[in-house]
Chains A and B, each alone.
Chain A
Amino acid sequence: MTTTAAIAPYDPAVDAPKPHHAIYDYDSGPPVNRGKFAIWLFLATEIMFFTGLIGAYVVLRIGADSWPDPENRLAVLITAINTFILIVSSATMVKAVERAMLGDNDGLVKWLGATVVIGATFVGVQVYEYAELIKAGNLPNVDIFWSTFYAMTGFHGLHVTVGVIWNLVVMIAAMRRKIPQEKYMTVELAGLYWHFVDLVWVLLFTIVYLM
């Protein structure tokens, strides 16, 4: 109609795609690795996720008429040791990243292996804790203490499990010599996630088990 400029028809000379063109990859941003940038974004979403869970716990707890002493309900000492175990695994992870940076593949495999084993131990202890609690009849539907307890520690445990699997995958790649020095970022990304999970536990342990 009146004001529409005539749309030019297809002209193969100009409009056809050029055959066999190369594909270009740009880097525009600040000098941060893409993967690292993305993982931090992802960790931000994780923080908000735990905000939902932990925030619910905090406000429900402050609002509760009374709140049982966790000492009476939970095995604080065992979990304290478990906390320590998780911290150790964070440290071994740091070593693994360092090895990867230095291109020491054997060291990488060794330290990652340690992280996986120690991380799995943490999960094991938690499973044992759950089993004992459930045996004693402390199910999530008993009261709001147990509801929040299971939701928070359960989702944290799930994250640890994911982290263990992730580390395992990286370890297998390292064993097959697929992580040369330039690609140490692969290890570092797994590491960031792993430390984050550790960080969340540090907070959870304090507010759920000690407070």
Chain B
Amino acid sequence: MSHEKGLGYSIWNIFVALFVLTAVEVAWGYAFHHNTGLLLKMPVWLFWGGLLLMALVKGLLIFMYFMHMRFERWIVWGLILPTPLLVMIVLAANMPDTSFNEQRDHPIGYLEDQTGEIVNALDTLHPAKGRGTLHGAAAEGGGGH
């Protein structure tokens, strides 16, 4: 086994790479922010993509070297490989319902009237404000029951 003879890689190279990437990330964040960028405003996807890429590279460096997965056998890889797939599945299934859901709508329980003023939907139906109790209203509503 390789690690019996030591780490098998130079930790300082990795360390410097991590350090530099972190610095670049922060600089990137300040310089190219998609709406408050100091230097240049970037489209969101490019801004985020760059950051994510750097974060992933950092994560991979830690994963491959510090956690020495590079030198690990297939069995250990096998334990961890299903997780990225499952992460994708969780995200992919949640996106349509949580992130891109046209049916979402808030504030909830409030309605706009014609003038754009916000009216509490309950006001119009609130028992204390004129429509009577639920069952009263039901009876009034004229009843099939």
Contact = CB atoms under 8 A, between A and B. Distances in A.
Q: Do chains A and B touch in the complex (CB under 8 A)?
A: yes
Given A41-B79, A83-B22, A195-B67, A71 B99 contact: no
Contacts of A60: 98-99
A195 B87 CA distance: 20
A54 B106 CA distance: 24
Contacts, number: 137
Interface residues of A, number: 52
Contact of B66 (A77, A94, A203): A94
Contacts of B58: 202
Interface string A77-121: 100100110011011011101100110000000000000000000
Contact of B62 (A83, A97, A199): A199
B67 to A, nearest CB: 5
B22 to A, nearest CB: 6
Interface band, chain B:
35 or more
Contact of B83 (A30, A31, A48): A48
Contact of B22 (A29, A84, A95, A203): A84
Contacts of A31: 1, 73
Contact of B94 (A55, A88, A98, A195): A55
B28 to A, nearest CB: 8
Contacts of B95: 59, 62
Interface stretch (B48-56, B110-118, B123-131, B133-141): B48-56
A44 B80 contact: yes
Contact of B104 (A63, A84, A97, A209): A63
Given A47-B80, A48-B83, A63-B98, A210 B66 contact: no
B77 to A, nearest CB: 9
A195 B28 CA distance: 25
A37 B87 contact: no
Interface in A26-52: 29-32, 36-37, 40-41, 43-44, 47-48, 51-52
B18 interface: yes
A44 B26 CA distance: 29
Interface in B78-96: 79-80, 82-83, 86-87, 90-91, 94-95
B108 interface: no
A210 B99 contact: no
Contact of A210 (B18, B26, B36, B104): B26
Given A47-B83, A101-B6, A210-B29, 10 more contacts: A32-B73, A32-B76, A43-B80, A55-B91, A60-B99, A83-B22, A192-B67, A195-B62, A206-B51, A211-B48
Interface of A: 29-32, 36-37, 40-41, 43-44, 47-48, 51-52, 55, 58-60, 62-63, 69, 71, 76-77, 80, 83-84, 87-88, 90-91, 93-95, 97-98, 101-102, 191-192, 195-196, 198-199, 202-203, 205-207, 209-211
Interface of B: 1, 3-4, 6-7, 11-12, 14-15, 18-19, 22-23, 25-26, 28-30, 33, 35-36, 47-48, 51-52, 54-55, 58-59, 62-63, 66-67, 72-76, 79-80, 82-83, 86-87, 90-91, 94-95, 98-101, 104
Closest 10 interchain pairs by CB?
A: A206-B55, A62-B99, A210-B29, A63-B99, A59-B98, A195-B66, A59-B94, A30-B75, A47-B83, A80-B26
